[in-house]
Amino acid sequence: MAKQIGILTAGGDSPGLNAAIRGVGKTGQNFYGMSVIGFKDGFRGLVENRTVRLDGGCLSGILTVGGTVLGTSRDKPHKMTVGGKVHDMTDVIVENYEANHLDALVCLGGGGTQKNALRLSQKGLNVITLPKTIDNDVGMTDVTFGFDTALGIATEAIDRLHSTAHSHHRIIVVEIMGHRAGWLTLGSGIAGGADVILIPEIAYDVDIIAEAIRNRVRGGKNFSIVAVAEGAVSKDESAAAEALERRILEATEKKERRTHKAELVELEKKRSGHTLRLSQQLEELTGLEARVTILGHLQRGGTPSAADRLLATRLGSACADLVEQGVYGVMVAARGEGAEAVPLEQVAGNRKLIPPGHPWIECARRVGTNLGD
């Protein structure tokens, strides 16, 4: 008997989501005779049972379209706001899964989606995930779809900023997405020839950055490009956060832990706008005029690159194969030119950060790029 599968997209939008939906749907239908439905707006659509039949017509013409035709949200099944209150809606999801006679649920998303999918898998649902995020920080996969497109956008932005930096003898500070992982900033910074690259994995010293810029001026180069991840931190901020995290771990009373957690939240709040502060600091320390460009959600939009379309299509197709084989509770990971099923237990909560000796870091240092340390 032909299987029925449901698909949803969760978390932030990302180039390649539609290509992945198409890859799952067309392989499932054309190759295995499956029926495919989509749930609108992520896990909320699954809770509210808002569906759309993903037949051949719905899957045509979406390969090159950015975003997601299904819509998305950041709702968590176990902590969903309904009627102004937070509820655990996992039992409702189980009911709707059964009401739609699903044999499998395919969830396309990043780190948060992998955790939510694992919870549903532990509730007895047949779940498979695909790794999506422009941050490239989902563990256990070579790469996530969405990353290559965002990398190209950020690199092009840095390319364009070179001319105005050179013409006006300025420091251009460009903020690139990435709260915890610096793959996007490091990759685009190297590809775009940034003079300074600041990532969350390496705490920076503003005096070291300023000295590197002054050295460029002394060498006759009166402009600099600083690529900074939105999650980059100074050494002082990093030390303060680590101290609070230690106090939380060492605290023996709940009240004390709550106090330190609140202090950590406040510290994070104070970090908002850190790119503007960094720009002001560099102006003061170097005497050069500094300007800030924040790329923001521009990096998520537009037509997915050929590489992301190819990656999303082959992972989507491999996902349909796994459904047919009855392999569930896994993420479809990219492995070389193929795909591999990795248990969700190994993926959920496993953030892929840039290791200290990564080749990208080494090559950045060798070509003279300052990493703030």
Please list the active-site residues. Answer: 135
The DSSP code for 14 is -
Residue with tokens 């997209």: 9
Q: Which residues contact 279 (CB under 8 A, 6 or more apart)?
A: 171, 173, 290, 291, 292
Q: Which residues contact 215 (CB under 8 A, 6 or more apart)?
A: none
| 3-class secondary structure, 109 | strand
Task: Name residue 106's beta-bridge partners.
Answer: 7, 128
The DSSP code for 223 is -
Q: What is d(CA 67, CA 71) in angstroms, rounded to the nearest whole number?
A: 8
Nearest-10 crossing angle of helices 90-99, 111-122: 70
**Contact between residue 86 and residue 80 where contact means Cβ atoms under 8 Å apart:** yes
